[in-house]
Amino acid sequence: MLNSKDANTTPMVLVGLSITFYGVTIYYLLPLALLSMNLTLVSQIIIFILVGLLCALTLFAFNT
């Protein structure tokens, strides 16, 4: 990107916010759910992690 006025930063901001949300979910909500024995939240977080891994591996496979 040579000209910063023509740069579209919306996709970068959205990806950054989604990665931040993903990290907060893993590092804050997962231990909280485990300590409070909330098995519904634990299972939803595990599914969320697995879907994230599936999306990341799909993107990796398409880029190589």
Please give the biggest Cα pair distance in the chain: 52
CB atoms within 10 A of CB 33: 19
Convert the pLDDT of each residue in 9-57 to its tens digit: 888 899 899 999 989 888 999 999 999 999 999 999 999 999 989 998 9
Q: What is the pTM of this model?
A: 0.71
Q: What is the pLDDT of residue 5?
A: 73
Q: In the chain, at which residue ranges do the beta strands (DSSP E only) sit?
A: none
- Would the pLDDT of 58 be above 90? yes
